Amino acid sequence: MSGGSAANLAVELAGVRFQNPVWVASGTFGYGDDFQTIFDVSRLGAVVTKTLFLGPRDGNPPPRIAEVGGGMLNSIGLANIGWEAFRERKAPWLRQHLPPAQLVVNVAGNTAEEYREVALRVDAARAEVGAAALELNISCPNVNEGGTNIGCDLRLTREVLREVRAVTSLPLLVKLSPNNADLVPFARLAEEEGADGVSLINTLYGMTVDLHSRRPFLGHGSGGLSGPSLLPVGVFWTYKVHQAVRIPIVGIGGIARAEDALQYLMAGARAVQVGTASFLNPFASLEVIDGIARFLDRHRMDLEELIGVAHERRPQNVPAAAAAV
Ligand SMILES: Cc1cc2nc3c(=O)[nH]c(=O)nc-3n(C[C@H](O)[C@H](O)[C@H](O)COP(=O)(O)O)c2cc1C
């Protein structure tokens, strides 16, 4: 329930119960404790951690952020404190303040073996840190394969999934990269290899050139595009992937308001993640929760009736005014 609403927003996904379908996206909410003085994190469906590697990483040279039309570019380069520091310094606070919101631990590695090792460690500490699920960030270069982006290569994706699936029984979500002509083969592969769901989408490759220096603006050169311009891309892939696999979808990309999240749910996502919008408005995710509840109240609908409704052939014939949130 949310803000005096009668709507039941609880949703089951990958065998886990989430009190609502609104999560905060990896890399846009720190380790969950950054907003602690202003924000009640326990109201969220889940917090997804910044991507954690086995050890700390410094990331890319500055500048790492650029504002562009329709969103932003980032080239953070997966800077993170590493799994052990997260377990020691961040997890105790989350253990205390997060429930009933869930913790989804997002991990990555430089090689398939590193993915396996970090997944193994999260699995071993699952009760201690309160991990409900693992989200695999596969949008990472494989250092043994000349830096090929794992999430853009079916063979490398399969290799990582096999290594990880073999060492953990934690619900496993695979976060897909939109830097592919087709995401359906990646979603099918995730299902085949025993993933419990897919999260989509990560950022799109992008670049901005500085007219003064006449060079790429970001220190790394290129970056990842996020924000409002990703909304139709993420909704498209949610719709397509929903037609192709049975495992659940977590919709991500450009969600700033309840209307945006509702599109993903109607396209077939069982949950959504709010990313870049939290930078502009730290309360965006909470507002999305309240807006979904209002929509369900107004239309006397259950969340389950809404999920995937865009795939129904029967015309809806809802007057435009009534369709508003
Ligand atoms: C500054 C920044 C850092 C990010 N870091 C990560 C990360 O560490 N791991 C990851 O899986 N995704 C990361 N992302 C991608 C987001 O989780 C999300 O997939 C993407 O931004 C699209 O959603 P949005 O348009 O709502 O931001 C990052 C995005 C931004 C903007």
In sequence order, the 6+-apart residues with CB closer than 8 A to the CB of 256 are 228, 274, 276, 277, 280, 281, 284
Give the tokens for residue 172. 């496993």
- Is residue 82 exposed (0-12), middle (13-18) or buried (19+ Cβ within 10 Å)? middle
Q: Does 68 sit in the ligand 1 pocket, CB within 6 Å?
A: no
What pLDDT shows up at residue 6? 73
Q: How far apart are CA 62 and CA 220, in angstroms?
A: 8
Residue 158: exposed, middle, or buried by beta-carbon count in 10 A (0-12, 13-18, 19+)? middle
CA of 237 to the centre of ligand 1 (A): 17
Cα–Cα dist 94/30, whole Å: 12
Q: Measured between alpha carbons, how far is 210 from 73 in angstroms, rounded to an integer? A: 13
Q: Which residue's structure tokens are 């090929």?
A: 148
Terminus-to-terminus CA distance in the chain, angstroms?
17
Dist. CA 39–CA 184, nearest whole Å: 36
**Ligand 1, atom 2: closest residue by C-alpha:** 27
Cβ of 254 below 6 Å from ligand 1: yes
Q: Report the separation in Å between the CA atom of 233 and the middle of ligand 1, taken as the mean of its atom positions.
A: 15
CA distance readout (Å), 70 to 48, 62, 157, 261: 24, 22, 30, 17
Residue 25 Cβ < 6 Å to ligand 1: yes
- Domains of the chain, with CATH numbers? 11-58+78-206+227-323 (3.20.20.70)
How many whole angstroms from 201 Cα to the centroid of ligand 1?
A: 9
CB of 276 closer than 6 angstroms to any ligand 1 atom: yes
89/83 Cα distance (integer angstroms): 10
Query: pLDDT 10s per residue in the chain (325 long)?
Result: 455 677 899 999 999 999 999 999 999 999 988 877 888 999 999 999 999 999 999 999 999 999 999 999 999 999 999 999 999 999 999 999 999 999 999 999 999 999 999 999 999 999 999 999 999 999 998 888 888 899 999 999 999 999 999 999 999 999 999 999 999 999 999 999 999 999 999 999 999 999 999 999 999 999 999 999 999 999 999 999 999 999 999 999 999 999 999 999 999 999 999 999 999 999 999 999 999 999 999 999 999 999 999 999 877 666 666 666 7
Q: Is the CB of 252 under 6 A from ligand 1?
A: yes
Are 135 and 273 contacting, i.e. CB atoms less than 8 angstroms apart?
A: no
Instruction: Indicate if ligand 1 lies below 6 Å from the C-beta of 22.
Output: no
Contact yes or no for 138/151 (Cβ under 8 A) = yes
Report which ligand 1 atom has the smallest distance to the Cα of 72.
31
pLDDT reported for residue 1: 47
The reported pLDDT for the residue numbered 322 is: 65
| Ligand 1 pocket, residue 278 CB under 6 Å | no
Using DSSP, state whether 23 is helix, strand or coil. Answer: strand
Amino acid at 287: E
Cα(222) to centroid of ligand 1, in Å?
15
- Which amino acid makes up residue 19? Q
> Is residue 63 exposed (0-12), middle (13-18) or buried (19+ Cβ within 10 Å)?
middle
Predicted pLDDT of residue 311: 97
Give CA–CA dist 5/141, Å, rounded. 45
320 CA → ligand 1 middle, Å = 33
Sign of CA dihedral 273, 278, 283, 288: negative
In sequence order, what are the beta bridge partners of 102?
46
Nearest CA to ligand 1 atom 22: 253
Q: What pLDDT is stored for residue 35 in this prediction?
A: 79
Residues tagged active-site: 140
